[in-house]
Amino acid sequence: MRFAIVFVSLLTLIGCNTNSKETVNSLNPVTSVADKDSDAADVRTVAVTVTGMMCPHGCYPGVKSVIEKKNDVASIELTPQQKEDVIDNPVILVKYRGELNKDATTQAILEAGFEKVEYNDQ
């Protein structure tokens, strides 16, 4: 049990200390992926709460990357936060086409070291 707690803590810290170019660009609390086509009729939105996502510099880009890899995503936005360097509302709005692969997405996010994932379809 202690190993799991240490492992998750380590993954969280490593993710939160990432200094890539994408990370610097993610300081803006709303980050979008370019639309893949202009037909918005088939785009759906889901609010994804990721418990354990604490910083916009490493955690959010990591979660965003996992979601983009598992789904046909039109855009991903971090909901507005009260402070610039802290995630106090760990909710991401995901706009996607087709079906969102919730099982694979949840598994990948949990494997990345986050605590819990919840979906609230809009």
Structural element, H or E, at residue 24: helix 21-25
For residue 84, what pLDDT is reported? 86
Which residue, among 11, 112, 19, 116, has the nearest Cα to 70 in the 3D structure? 112
The domain spans of the chain are 2-121
The reply to whether the predicted model has a pTM over 0.85 is no
pLDDT tens for residues 55-92?
A: 999 999 999 999 999 889 999 999 999 988 999 999 99
pLDDT above 90 covers a percentage of the chain that reads 57
Q: What is the CATH number of domain 2-121?
A: 3.30.70.100
Q: Is 16 helix (H, G, I), strand (E, B) or coil?
A: helix
3-class state of residue 44 by DSSP: strand
Judged by average pLDDT, the poorest of 36-40, 42-46, 116-120 is 36-40
Task: Tell me the pLDDT of the chain averaged across its residues.
Answer: 77
In this prediction, residues 28-32 reach a mean pLDDT of: 41
